[in-house]
Structure 1
């Protein structure tokens, strides 16, 4: 039996005893053990701790159950939450004090006066203030006081709905017990943390408490369980619970008040132009950071439906930075956090959304159970990892020094331009995402899902699955990734447990064969777990997909050899295509390409042919360069299994981008249409999904995952940035964004038949993407593809156009933007295109 290697010097376990006693003791367990003592926690040999003790069940152990309840009710030891590290919270009157501080905020008071005066100016111009009995000055003063009073009342009401209400210690004790009862039933293997990381966090918290600074937790977001697990960890470690930014879509009966009293801060999903509301949010954040209260928001905004990190959202980050820019807050500590799951409760609903089903409104049943009975789930474990915290002030100063090249100067508010603030926001957002990836743990279910989806054939035998899981585990570690510890168990056992967690709805078993054989039942849902590993191999995956231009030709090794310039150009193209889809290392294309090449060479996947300096060259100064890249003889002999692994990782995303590009042909105006053709973006994306499903079932699309909504939306964002499409707001409030093809990307039609001609910039762009797609028997004849796919695009596009025309006539919906909005959108697209050409010297975007 295969057994994973165990580090010779394991990190020490964390001992969290009664009260706030935190200490170290040597690791001494080869397998997880469950203590019968409820004050102890489960240990592992590599320094991980199961943070929540097993909760007794009344039916199985009524005495222990009653003892646990008694300890929580009385607040014995750490359960009392009496001696926390951080600023005082959970005492009577806490929320009223916070509310009073926010209302008294000078910035808010100034905004209320400003809005009142602006309203008075409007009323004066419209003649609404004129009276015979009272002078204008007196009338304006009275009106000002009335308006300010009204705005203050509105502000107090909004604040009361918004702020967290940490008033009752008895409540938080009960909440901890209730939530851990639920979690230990759903995630039966518990919540695991790293002993070294939580000790470091504890030390940082003690220092922040002395300086009265906030710790800003910035976690990844895959599940509603994310913020619950974070609160549990802070409670169990005796740290001040953070105030958590949460969308008010979760503020529904029972759940909303419960979360608000446990630390939730409710905000609208969109602020619009509401200046008072924006100022209130800023004032509340200022109050929290000035007081040194811990804070938490999700760097991705919403939950990731695909399993990988989403691009950063800059709304709340902007408020945090503004607190420091303004000087109202001296400093705060940033702590990126990764939360990983063996299985995510909500994945079923995610898949429905990605396939185009309307998002269900949040409700109590779905919130608690995720569509399943939480009392009977066995979802494995949760792993939470904390990156090394860093000073936000030091980060700002360092970024200013890099941008302005003035290392000795400490920037003031006036030193920052709007553009430099935006660059700082992007730098902070992507740094946090990179830090999260650095500490993320690859779970056994992710290893299994990745292996099953990156093997050729209908299924995989048990021994082969175990072998490839071991191989993948080693590759993850070799690239600096982390794998959830196997606790000294043989890989066969770990795989079996992982398969049990995934369940037969995701991975099926073929019965009656000499060897157990597994197959993907739901590839779409299983891709969620595969996407948890892709960030570790994205460079190698892009390089392998680029090399596929030659590999798919077949024949002799020489015919599959690719020149370095050709490889570099295709990798460059693909990296631009996915620049918003993945988090790339910051070193740039050349360095990253070299790293990926040498990584694949070290794994014996490719062979590099290096240049030989001529005799006339000064060889002391000339370094050999890569001339050609090809698959190694070892890789060919093994059936390309490792090379295929990297291709299978990226192919679904290439397919989605190709589908997105092909779907843009639907924006070509019909044969007899005159004038610009603007269509509703949402309708276009829905039609693109319908097109993709049809292409998949007809064999022209290899991966059903390619029709997922999020990846298509990301592709359209790239196309807008490239200037291929122009996006503008509609003049009709019932329609959001409208879209049309940029004039220089419009395809041509046959003057006699009216059929689309497979040529032009857009077709060439789609063909360049297609050259790295997985070869299929339906796609080997380019002429047939052009005819069949174009006919289908025409059919779906005509239905889209007819549907939109019908809405315009029957429902009086006008999707066109105003002339002013359209003009701005067109100029923006042109400006973006010019900037891209100037930056890259070609039709490209940003590099790897």
Structure 2
């Protein structure tokens, strides 16, 4: 599984030397394990039971800090010295930005106390008392800021600690991922060169990896340590700051921040001051562009929290420049996927604690999860990116009266931030490596039938490998190993819990045991084929009708409109080409025609008039066309399910005032509806009840004004929603039942037109009767629950069913702002 693009050798690190080896895992020979030779980082280290002398020798080298283990002369700014934390803390506390905010907050409080009469202006010594009170407030705020800073900052203090931490973590990680960590030699050497230049300019490298596992930041820290790069400060949620482990991670590079800042101006300013200090000092930084870990296997939409702080540092002039380095980390098998499935099915996420951490670590030692592949995109200048974007925006024709050079303008900043986030995601996709487990999972979930024989599995994996490379993707490579051996290895890593095999037949036959968990690996390939999948789903609106080819052909305008609708629907799910729909659609159609999947009819002027399946594709049983449909159908099902569930949010007959439903309860109700429909045969894919995909659908519906959401300033009150009055279906005056008509119904039917037609249902009749009745019944329970008195469990406030005056005003502003934003963005809408 190698070609010209994938032929670059992996990096082999032996002792103090960096050399090259053929790409992929190569089982070491017996002579290579002889005494006197150190094991490579990419392979397991010596174990006490099997190689006690080698084990003791390795430990002694780490303790003594011999050679590269001393972690001296690293590329980057000085770290791991006594007093590092105090130096950083002093820099933060003396920052002009922070001191100005403290003075401002003290003045605001003094003004409040004056207004409330706590400070009497009529007293003779009023000014002295006022100054004294202000000084006390400033001192108090200084102490709070110091405490926040101390809990937040990473503490690179001891080389002895980091040497021991490196050895311990490497032992744990490489026992679980027994075939090691692999990188591209070309990318790593390029990164070292960039790091040397950044160090000379005292600029930070900001690593922006994807996030699928807790192993992500561990593997990147190990690589930076082993390659002699200054370790990055890793932005981490304060949920990881629990006893023992929290301190360990903080000394290894973690900076802890809250998941939500709320209206805490002081905390927000402390975070900004810390980011400023890191970037001004040229310290490397790492944060996850997606925020949390992806539970679905594909990239999540970008989160802009830390990126907004970084961009503010640059645009304000407090920082001259920084280097952006997108990073892709891929796994043969992600250790947390089983836990992800339970979360996605609605089981609440457990809070991290020491007991689970230790028990999880011990179980990891017995796993054989294959290998980890880390790929680095070519780093680029953040300043250069911003300047380029501002130039493009100022030159582009626009009806909006905006000065694109005004970087203080909130809309300009938001535009830059959004473009930055999606560029990073696109760069990550560009360098991602498709692992054998992802190829196998994708094939198993995109074939009809119960299972697939070994010969057919190899043939389809080979076809998929060729398609991945044709689309510009990278496939993990394994030297000269035959494809059948690589597949066998992938099946072994996935294990019998995910992929079963039926023996005693004419040939071994494989089948998906846990389709939900296996979809995680399928989703690792979908970004490469999203354009083809959208076209296939749009064409399916005609193909599902059956009949002859002429009936199944689709006019180009209808195809274009459905692709536009679906791509807008999934704007929060997938990363699209930045070239625009027209260019991308034309190129993808040409590619499908060249692959003999479709035929295209054109008029005399060369314009496309009709599109349909080719005769060759029909003769082949539609296997390639079906592949693209199977990729997108679970997501179409999930969006359809979310849209159907909205109908249940229609107020009951006779309800005069608006009742607001708790968002989390609406999601849970939609998930319950989906599970019911799946087991009753009205839903084809159990993955459609995936909590994250449903949440993304609701988010898109909110962006389009289909639902309205209110978030209280009181953090104890959860977010609430209602179905927008413009989208509410009508009810039958006699029965009170929902009427299957109107704007929301038409919207749901438009999604359903590309939905897979199962054997046990017919879309229109089923949805308009039994399914609508079921969602109405679940909706009725939501309304009853919303007006039920709060039970006050665990000291939490309930979600008030009606809005306060302040919330109503906030909603009006939000609705107006959403309409303005949709107009400014000038993008396709649902």
The two structures have a TM-score, normalised by structure 1, of 0.93
**Relative to 1, partners in 2 of residues 1:230 and 1:29: Cα closer, same or farther, differing over 3 Å?**
closer
Tell me the secondary structure at the aligned position of residue 584 of structure 1. coil
Listed one character per residue, the Cα deviations across residues 726-749 of structure 1 (whole Å, up to 9, x for unaligned) are 111359764322111111211111
**Which residue of 320, 325, 328 corresponds with 2:310?**
320
CA contact (8 A) 2:232 2:285 kept: yes
CA contact (8 A) 1:345 1:370 kept: no
Counterpart position of 2:28: 33
Counterpart position of 2:456: 464
Q: Tell me the CA shift for residue 806 of structure 1.
A: 2.3
Q: Tell me the CA shift for residue 781 of structure 1.
A: 6.0
Distance in structure 2 (CA, Å) of the matches to 1:80 and 1:570? 60
RMSD between aligned residues: 2.4
Q: Which moved more, 1:105-114 or 1:822-831?
A: 822-831
**Relative to 1, partners in 2 of residues 1:329 and 1:125: Cα closer, same or farther, differing over 3 Å?**
same
Q: Which moved more, 1:136-145 or 1:228-237?
A: 136-145
**Relative to 1, partners in 2 of residues 1:166 and 1:216: Cα closer, same or farther, differing over 3 Å?**
same
Tell me the secondary structure at the aligned position of residue 760 of structure 2. helix
Listed one character per residue, the Cα deviations across residues 387-421 of structure 1 (whole Å, up to 9, x for unaligned) are 000011111111111122399xxx99954411101
- Indicate whether 1:78 and 2:68 are aligned: yes
Listed one character per residue, the Cα deviations across residues 370-389 of structure 1 (whole Å, up to 9, x for unaligned) are 58711100111111000000
**Relative to 1, partners in 2 of residues 1:366 and 1:535: Cα closer, same or farther, differing over 3 Å?**
farther
Aligned pairs, number:
819
Tell me the secondary structure at the aligned position of residue 363 of structure 2. coil
Counterpart position of 1:562: 554
**Which residue of 752, 755, 769 corresponds with 2:734?**
752
Counterpart position of 2:619: 637
Distance in structure 2 (CA, Å) of the matches to 1:146 and 1:601? 75
Listed one character per residue, the Cα deviations across residues 290-332 of structure 1 (whole Å, up to 9, x for unaligned) are 1111111111111111111111111100110111112111111
Q: Tell me the CA shift for residue 364 of structure 1.
A: 2.7
Tell me the secondary structure at the aligned position of residue 748 of structure 1. coil
- Indicate whether 1:138 and 2:112 are aligned: no
Q: Tell me the CA shift for residue 825 of structure 1.
A: 2.4
Q: Which moved more, 1:120-129 or 1:361-370?
A: 361-370
CA contact (8 A) 1:730 1:816 kept: no
Listed one character per residue, the Cα deviations across residues 144-192 of structure 1 (whole Å, up to 9, x for unaligned) are 2211111111111111111111110000000000000101111001111
Counterpart position of 1:581: 573
Counterpart position of 2:801: 815
Counterpart position of 1:273: 263
Counterpart position of 1:845: 829
Listed one character per residue, the Cα deviations across residues 45-104 of structure 1 (whole Å, up to 9, x for unaligned) are xxxxx7434211111010110111011111111111011111111111111111111111
CA contact (8 A) 1:564 1:627 kept: yes
1:257-268 correspondence to structure 2 within 5 Å: 257-268=247-258
Q: Which moved more, 1:649-658 or 1:73-82?
A: 73-82
Counterpart position of 2:298: 308
CA contact (8 A) 2:659 2:801 kept: no
Distance in structure 2 (CA, Å) of the matches to 1:654 and 1:808? 36
CA contact (8 A) 2:24 2:476 kept: no
CA contact (8 A) 1:445 1:501 kept: yes
**Relative to 1, partners in 2 of residues 1:812 and 1:186: Cα closer, same or farther, differing over 3 Å?**
closer
**Relative to 1, partners in 2 of residues 1:133 and 1:835: Cα closer, same or farther, differing over 3 Å?**
closer
Tell me the secondary structure at the aligned position of residue 751 of structure 1. coil
Flag structure 1 segments of 5+ consecutive residues without an equivalent.
43-49, 614-623
Distance in structure 2 (CA, Å) of the matches to 1:387 and 1:606? 34
Listed one character per residue, the Cα deviations across residues 606-664 of structure 1 (whole Å, up to 9, x for unaligned) are 11112124xxxxxxxxxx11111111111111111100000000000000000000000
CA contact (8 A) 2:393 2:404 kept: no
**Relative to 1, partners in 2 of residues 1:166 and 1:464: Cα closer, same or farther, differing over 3 Å?**
same
Counterpart position of 1:47: none
**Which residue of 136, 142, 159 corresponds with 1:152?**
142
**Which residue of 180, 192, 198 corresponds with 2:188?**
198
Q: Tell me the CA shift for residue 824 of structure 1.
A: 3.9
The two structures have a TM-score, normalised by structure 2, of 0.95
Counterpart position of 1:619: none
- Indicate whether 1:423 and 2:407 are aligned: no
CA contact (8 A) 2:261 2:268 kept: yes
CA contact (8 A) 1:729 1:817 kept: no
**Relative to 1, partners in 2 of residues 1:804 and 1:412: Cα closer, same or farther, differing over 3 Å?**
closer
- Indicate whether 1:111 and 2:101 are aligned: yes
Distance in structure 1 (CA, Å) of the matches to 2:423 and 2:713? 38
**Which residue of 465, 471, 495 corresponds with 1:503?**
495
Counterpart position of 1:227: 217
**Which residue of 667, 672, 685 corresponds with 1:685?**
667
**Relative to 1, partners in 2 of residues 1:575 and 1:36: Cα closer, same or farther, differing over 3 Å?**
same
**Which residue of 461, 465, 473 corresponds with 1:481?**
473
Q: Tell me the CA shift for residue 341 of structure 1.
A: 0.7
CA contact (8 A) 2:210 2:299 kept: yes
Distance in structure 1 (CA, Å) of the matches to 2:651 and 2:582? 41
1:648-667 correspondence to structure 2 within 5 Å: 648-667=630-649
Counterpart position of 2:725: 743
**Relative to 1, partners in 2 of residues 1:766 and 1:40: Cα closer, same or farther, differing over 3 Å?**
farther
Q: Tell me the CA shift for residue 784 of structure 1.
A: 3.7
- Indicate whether 1:238 and 2:220 are aligned: no
Distance in structure 2 (CA, Å) of the matches to 1:271 and 1:439? 33
**Relative to 1, partners in 2 of residues 1:90 and 1:809: Cα closer, same or farther, differing over 3 Å?**
closer
CA contact (8 A) 2:44 2:175 kept: no
Q: Which moved more, 1:431-440 or 1:114-123?
A: 114-123
CA contact (8 A) 2:441 2:518 kept: yes
- Indicate whether 1:728 and 2:710 are aligned: yes
Q: Tell me the CA shift for residue 428 of structure 1.
A: 0.5
1:518-557 correspondence to structure 2 within 5 Å: 518-557=510-549
Counterpart position of 1:45: none
**Relative to 1, partners in 2 of residues 1:83 and 1:839: Cα closer, same or farther, differing over 3 Å?**
closer
**Relative to 1, partners in 2 of residues 1:813 and 1:768: Cα closer, same or farther, differing over 3 Å?**
closer
Distance in structure 1 (CA, Å) of the matches to 2:15 and 2:688? 51
Tell me the secondary structure at the aligned position of residue 778 of structure 2. helix
Q: Tell me the CA shift for residue 509 of structure 1.
A: 1.6
- Indicate whether 1:402 and 2:389 are aligned: no
Tell me the secondary structure at the aligned position of residue 788 of structure 2. helix
**Relative to 1, partners in 2 of residues 1:336 and 1:665: Cα closer, same or farther, differing over 3 Å?**
same
Counterpart position of 2:400: none
Distance in structure 2 (CA, Å) of the matches to 1:730 and 1:8? 52
Q: Tell me the CA shift for residue 675 of structure 1.
A: 1.9
Counterpart position of 2:176: 186
Counterpart position of 2:628: 646
Flag structure 2 segments of 5+ consecutive residues without an equivalent.
398-402
Tell me the secondary structure at the aligned position of residue 667 of structure 1. coil
CA contact (8 A) 1:550 1:561 kept: yes
Q: Tell me the CA shift for residue 817 of structure 1.
A: 2.1
Distance in structure 2 (CA, Å) of the matches to 1:718 and 1:491? 41
Listed one character per residue, the Cα deviations across residues 694-724 of structure 1 (whole Å, up to 9, x for unaligned) are 0000000000000111111110111111111
Tell me the secondary structure at the aligned position of residue 627 of structure 1. strand
Distance in structure 2 (CA, Å) of the matches to 1:41 and 1:602? 51
Distance in structure 2 (CA, Å) of the matches to 1:531 and 1:438? 15
Q: Tell me the CA shift for residue 134 of structure 1.
A: 6.3
Q: Tell me the CA shift for residue 832 of structure 1.
A: 3.8
CA contact (8 A) 1:730 1:817 kept: no
Q: Tell me the CA shift for residue 335 of structure 1.
A: 0.3
**Relative to 1, partners in 2 of residues 1:370 and 1:710: Cα closer, same or farther, differing over 3 Å?**
farther
